[in-house]
């Protein structure tokens, strides 16, 4: 447990929003720490869209204001079209992961996959941890602790 108490301050004291240098530093720290304990770590690249949710909010607000202005000026057909387009764009972007506007600011990030050697070929443990996107927005005094959940632990047949 004392080792955990040494690691936690490096992970819990600084906000790590998606796409920031602090997030990359936390990922490198975790990888180096795990590798130092003798565990193999594989990096898997993926395309992240750290600004997609913020862009969705800005676009929804702008489209809402546009719709309001069209209604005020008597262009009801155009206002209906815009009001139908707003949820369609948001659902396409956020639910179906179509890069309508989320392609802005995309960047390559890394998943870290650590492989622990099993004592017997029939053993398998799947463990996952989420270290990204810690902000101090809702609780600036007490930083959020790290969270880890074992996903599956069973014997193979």
| Res 1: pLDDT | 44
Instruction: Give which of 45, 49, 48, 8 is closest to 29, Cα–Cα.
Output: 8
CA atoms of 37 and 31, how far apart (whole Å): 10
What are the tens digits of pLDDT across the range 57-68? 888 999 999 999
- Per-domain boundaries in the chain: 2-37+117-155, 54-90
Banded pLDDT at 79 (limits 50, 70, 90): very high
| pTM for the model | 0.58
Measured between alpha carbons, how far is 49 from 102 in angstroms, rounded to an integer? Answer: 6
Enter the tokens of residue 13: 């004291």
pLDDT band, very low/low/confident/very high, at 19 (cuts 50, 70, 90): confident
């Amino acid at each position: 447990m004392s080792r955990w108490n040494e690691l936690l301050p490096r992970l819990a004291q600084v906000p790590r929003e998606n796409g920031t240098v602090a997030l990359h530093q936390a990922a490198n720290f975790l990888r180096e720490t795990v590798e130092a304990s003798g565990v193999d770590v594989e990096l898997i690249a993926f395309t992240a869209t750290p600004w997609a949710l913020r862009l969705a909010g800005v676009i929804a607000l702008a489209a809402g204001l546009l719709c309001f202005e069209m209604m005020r000026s008597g262009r009801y057909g155009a206002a209906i079209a815009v009001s139908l387009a707003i949820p369609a764009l948001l659902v396409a972007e956020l639910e179906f992961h179509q890069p309508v506007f989320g392609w802005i600011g995309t960047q390559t990030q890394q998943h870290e996959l650590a492989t622990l050697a099993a004592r017997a070929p029939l053993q398998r443990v799947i463990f996952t941890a989420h270290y990204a996107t810690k902000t101090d927005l809702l609780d600036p005094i007490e930083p959020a602790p790290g969270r880890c959940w074992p996903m599956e632990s069973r014997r193979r047949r």
